[in-house]
Structure 1
Amino acid sequence: MGHVISTGLELVATTSSTRLNERLASAVKRTVELANSQDISPREKLHVKAMELFSHGNFPKACEMWEDILVDHPTDMLALKFAHDSYFYMGAQIQMRDSVARVLPHWKPHIPLASYLKGQYSFGLLETHFYDQAEKVAMEGLALTPDDAWSVHSVAHIYEMKAEVDKGLKFMEGREKDWQTADMLASHNYWHWALYFIEKGQYEAALQIYDSQVFRRCKATGSMLDTVDACSMLYRLEMEGVCVKDRWRELLQVTQPHTDDHVTLFNDLHFLMVSLGAKENGSSKRLLEGLQELAKEPGDNHQLQLAEPVGVPMCQAMMEYDQGNYNRAVELLYPLRYRMVDIGGSDAQRDLFNQLLIHAAMKSENKHHQKLGRCLLVERDATRPDSPLTHRLLKRALALHN
C-alpha cells in the first residue's frame, strides 16, 4: 500500500504525465507487478487497479474501483479522497457530493480525520448549489477543527458563488492565521481572497495577493492547483483591463515545461492562457496541435475523449479572442457553455470561461452577439444578485452599444 499511496498521490496531483515521465510510468508498473506477485487482500487489489486505471486516464473506471472499496470499507480515507479528486477532475459534481454522503454515518467522532469529512461534504453540497446546507456543514467542521483549510475553502466558494463579497473578505481575514500554513490549500485560499477584490474592482489589492502569495507559492511548490490559480487570476485581471504583461512572462517559466503533458483539459486551458498572455505563439500552437493529435488516439483516457468535442474548440476560442476575432470566439464558445463542466474544476474556477464568453460577445461587431452578451449578464445577475462585477459589465455593455 505504500507504493499505492506514494504513486497515487503523485498521479492525482496531475503535475506529470505517464506518457512523458518514465519514472512515474515505471512506478505504476512496479506497483502492479508487486501486487500480482503477492498474496494481498481484495481491498488492496482494488486500490492497485484503481491507481493503474487513473494512470491511463480512465477516471470513471478508477472511481468505480474506489467506490467498490468504500462499500465494504466506508472509512477508507484514501479511496474516498482519490474518488473525490477524480470526480472533481471530471466535473462530476453530484457524484462528488454523494460519494461522501454515503459514508458519512460510518465516520464516528472518535475516528481520526472524521471532522475533515465536513469540508469534503460541504464542497460537494456547494457545487450542487445547496449553499445554505454547505455553509452549515463547513462551519460544523471548523468548530471541530479550526485549522481545516478545506472547510475554509468551502465557505470561500459559497460567498463567491453568492457574490457576498464583503462577507467573504471578512471571513478570509478572520481565519487567515488558521489556514495560511496549510501547504496544499493556502495558496488556493489566497486566490479566493483575491477573487473578492477582483469582484469589487480593487485590482491593486488582488495583485498584491498574487505577487506576495499566489505566484510566490506557485513558483516554490510547482503544485498544479497553485499553478492554475496563478494562470486564471492573471487572465481574469487582463479581461478586466489590467496590464499584467511582465507577470505572464514570469509565469511562463512555470507552465511551459507542462505544455505537452495533457493530463487534464482543465490544466491545458490554463497553460494556454499563459502562452497567449506571454505572446509565446510557438507554445500555444504546440499545445493545441498536441491535443488535436492525442484526441485521435484510441483508448479509455477520459480527458482525451473530450478533447475533440470540448477541449480543442475551447482552446481555439481563446486563441481567436487573443487575436481580436471576437465573433469567432463567441461562435466557438457559446455552443459549449453547458458542456464546460466536463473539463473539471469548480463552478468558481470555470466562471472564468463564462466571463470570457461575455467579454467576447460584448466586443463582437455582431449585433446579435452584443444582445447575447447582455442576456448572459442578466442571467448571471439572476444567480448572483448584487455582484459588483456583473453590474460593472452591464454598465460597460450599455455604454458600448448605445
Structure 2
Amino acid sequence: MAPLRDCKAWKDAGLVLSTTSNEACKLFDAVLAQYTTWTNNESLGGIEGCLSKLKAADPNFTMGHAIANGLELIGGGSSVRLSKELDSAMRTMMMLSKSQPLTEREKLHVSALDMFASGQLPKACDLWEQILQSHPTDLLALKFSQDTYFYLGYQAQMRDSVARVYPFWTPDIPLSSYVKGFYAFGLMETNFFDRAEELAREALAINKTDAWSAHTIAHINEMKAEVKKGLEFMKETETNWKNSDMLACHNYWHWALYFIEKGEYEAALTIYDNHIAPRCLSSGSMLDIVDNSSMLYRLHLEGVKLGDRWNNVLQLAKKHSRDHILLFNDAHLLMSSLGAKDQKTTDELLTTLQELAKAPCEDHELSLAPRLGLPLYQAFVEFENGNCDKAVDLLYPIRYQLIEVGGSNAQRDVFSQLLIHAALNSKSQAKQNLARCLLRERDAMRPNSPMTERLIRKAAAVHSMA
C-alpha cells in the first residue's frame, strides 16, 4: 500500500485538506483506502479505529467529520431520522463548516452530505459531480457518488461519472487501479460486458485482492448465465477476495447463485451455511442481511426446504422493520419476515411505511413508496398467501420501473423470478401465457440459462395440464 498522505501530499495532489494535523490527514487517507477496498485493514486499525483516532488528532477537522458521517449515511443502515447520534454529528459538521475558512471543494462535500441526510439523493450526486468536474481525482466524491447512484438505480450515471474522470487516474495516483473496478462495474450494469471484463481484469492484474473487480466479473458471468466460467472464477480467486470483510459475504452470494442457476440446491446451501449466514451473523450489516434474504428467497421460489434458516436472518432483519431508509432494503427485510412467517413484523413493516409515505417530504426513497415500494411488497405478501393472480396484477405493471428501487441487475432479478413464479402458478390461462412470454424474453437475454430451461419445462407441464 502507498504511504499515507500528510497535509503537504494532499496539497500537492490538488486536494487541500483544511487542517494543520499531518496525523489527521494520514488517518483520513487510511479511512478512504479501507472504504475504497471494502476491507477493514487491521494493520491500520480498521475503519472504526481510524475514525476515532482521526477525531482525536483534530476534533475540528471538517473533512474528518464528513468522511465519518458519509460512511454512516451511505452504509445504508442509519439515518438522521433514526439516530440522534448521527443527527448531532451532522449538526457538528455543519457548524464547523460555517465557522472555518474551507476550500470550495470541502464546502461542496459538506453540502452533498446535508442533501443526502435529508433524503435528497439525486441532489447529493449533483454536488459530488460538481466537485469531480474541477477535482477529477477526489476519490471520496467519486466513491460516495458511485454508491449513491447504485442506491438510485442510476446505472448510466454510475458508468459516465467514472468515464469523465478516468483519464486523470494515472498509475502513480494511490488506489487508481480501484477506479478501473468502479468503471468496470458501471459498464457491466449497462451491458458493455466485454469492455467491463477487460477493465476488471486489468484491475486484478494490478491488485489481485481487489474484491470489487472480482465481484464485477462474477456479475458478468451471472448476467450471461455462464455458470461454468462463473464457478471456476470464484473457486480460483477465493483466497484473493475472502479477506475483504465488507464484500466477501456478497461474493459468496454470487458463487451460490451459480449453483441455484444449475439447480444444485445442496451446493448453494453449503455455501450459505458455511460462509453467507455466519458472516451476516457477525457483521449484522445491511448488505449481508440483503444477501441472506435474497439467497433464501430464491431457494424458496424453487421449492427448496430451508428448515429454520429464516429465523436467524429475521432476528437481524426485524430490528430494521421500521427504518425505511432504502426501498430495496425493505423488500429484503420483508422476504425474511414472510419466510419466517412472522406476521407481526410483516404488518409492522408495511404499516409504518404507509404512514411515512403519506406525509409530503423531500425524501427520494419515501416518495417512491406509493408508486413502487408498496405494490412490490404487496405482491410478495399476495404470493405468499397463494394469491398468485393478485401478485401478478401488482407486479407486472411496475416491472420496468423497479430499477428505481436501486440495487444491481443481478440483485433485482429476484423480482423478475417472483413475477414468473406467480404467473406460472396462476389459475388464469392468460397469466400462464404471460409466464411463457416472460420466459421467452428471459431466454433471449440469457441464452443457455439452466434456470430458464427448467422454468420453460415447468410452464409446458402446466400448459399440458390446463
Which of 280, 295, 298 matches 1:233? 295
Measured in 2, the distance between the counterparts of 1:159 and 1:29 equals 45
1:311 partnered with 2:373: yes
Measured in 2, the distance between the counterparts of 1:383 and 1:133 equals 18
Measured in 2, the distance between the counterparts of 1:297 and 1:23 equals 24
1:37 partnered with 2:96: no
Q: Name the counterpart of 2:11.
A: none
Q: Name the counterpart of 2:235.
A: 173
Which blocks of at least 5 consecutive residues in structure 1 are unaligned?
Answer: none
SS at match of 2:231: helix
Measured in 1, the distance between the counterparts of 2:90 and 2:281 equals 27
Measured in 1, the distance between the counterparts of 2:307 and 2:265 equals 15
8 Å Cα contact 1:17/1:262 also seen in 2: no
**Could you tell me which amino acid in structure 2 is paired with residue 14 of structure 1?**
G
Which of 143, 151, 155 matches 1:89? 151
SS at match of 1:115: helix
8 Å Cα contact 1:245/1:277 also seen in 2: no
Q: Name the counterpart of 1:399.
A: 461
Runs of 4+ deviating beyond 3 Å: none
Q: Name the counterpart of 2:160.
A: 98
Which of 343, 362, 385 matches 2:447? 385
Measured in 2, the distance between the counterparts of 1:121 and 1:175 equals 20
Q: Name the counterpart of 2:136.
A: 74
- In the TM superposition, residue 244 of structure 1 has moved relative to its aligned partner by 1.4
Q: Name the counterpart of 2:401.
A: 339
1:53 partnered with 2:115: yes
Q: For 1:205-224, list aligned pairs within 5 A.
A: 205-224=267-286
**Could you tell me which amino acid in structure 2 is paired with residue 34 of structure 1?**
L
- In the TM superposition, residue 401 of structure 1 has moved relative to its aligned partner by 2.1
Q: Name the counterpart of 1:299.
A: 361
Q: Name the counterpart of 1:159.
A: 221
Q: For 1:17-36, list aligned pairs within 5 A.
A: 17-36=79-98
Measured in 1, the distance between the counterparts of 2:447 and 2:185 equals 21
Bigger radius of gyration among the two: 2
Which of 242, 245, 263 matches 2:325? 263
Q: Name the counterpart of 1:202.
A: 264
Farther-moved stretch of structure 1 (63-72 vs 17-26): 17-26
Which of 161, 174, 186 matches 1:112? 174
Q: Name the counterpart of 2:255.
A: 193
Measured in 1, the distance between the counterparts of 2:410 and 2:384 equals 22
8 Å Cα contact 1:157/1:348 also seen in 2: yes
8 Å Cα contact 1:51/1:62 also seen in 2: yes
With normalisation by structure 1, the TM-score equals 0.99
**Could you tell me which amino acid in structure 1 is paired with residue 107 of structure 2?**
K
8 Å Cα contact 1:149/1:179 also seen in 2: yes
SS at match of 2:115: helix
Measured in 1, the distance between the counterparts of 2:314 and 2:233 equals 32
Q: How many pairs does the alignment contain?
A: 402
**Could you tell me which amino acid in structure 2 is paired with residue 203 of structure 1?**
Y
- In the TM superposition, residue 16 of structure 1 has moved relative to its aligned partner by 1.6
Q: Name the counterpart of 1:289.
A: 351
**Could you tell me which amino acid in structure 2 is paired with residue 299 of structure 1?**
C
SS at match of 2:243: coil
- In the TM superposition, residue 29 of structure 1 has moved relative to its aligned partner by 1.4
- In the TM superposition, residue 19 of structure 1 has moved relative to its aligned partner by 1.2
SS at match of 2:171: coil
Q: Name the counterpart of 2:340.
A: 278
With normalisation by structure 2, the TM-score equals 0.86
Percent pairwise identity: 58
